[in-house]
Homo-oligomer: A and B are copies of this chain.
Amino acid sequence: MSLKDLQKDVDDWAQQFNPAYWPALEQMAQLSEEIGEVARVLNRMYGHKNAKTDEEMKNLKEELVDAMFPIICIANREGINLEEAWKERMKNRLYTRDKDRYQKK
């Protein structure tokens, strides 16, 4: 399943509605909300509650996808090709920006 397929999945879903995509700052608020959900689960798994249960792992899987969803909506709304953007960014990350940032093995 390619990034293009993901963008198409989201678009197929969005095109049922009118408007297909919400205004950008509403998508952004949705993204903040979903990130908050990821934070909640990770805090339960790794914070003082220390509850890395099967149920929380299942929640994390769902919340990570829910966090990807508004990112893809924002990209679709703007006509951004995420695969192309990913490739450019990783080229930069692998060879330039992070070259000396971390401790190598």
Contact = CB atoms under 8 A, between A and B. Distances in A.
A71 interface: yes
Q: Is the interface of A mostly helix, strand, loop or mixed?
A: helix
7 pairs of A and B residues whose beta carbons are closest in the complex = A36-B36, A32-B39, A25-B25, A65-B89, A61-B85, A26-B47, A29-B43
Interface residues of A, number: 65
Interface of A: 1-3, 6, 9, 13, 15-18, 22-40, 42-43, 45-48, 57, 60-62, 64-69, 71, 74-75, 78, 80, 82-83, 85-90, 93-94, 98, 102-105
B29 A33 contact: no
For A65, A102, A104, the residue with the greatest tally of chain B CB atoms inside 10 Å of its CB is A65
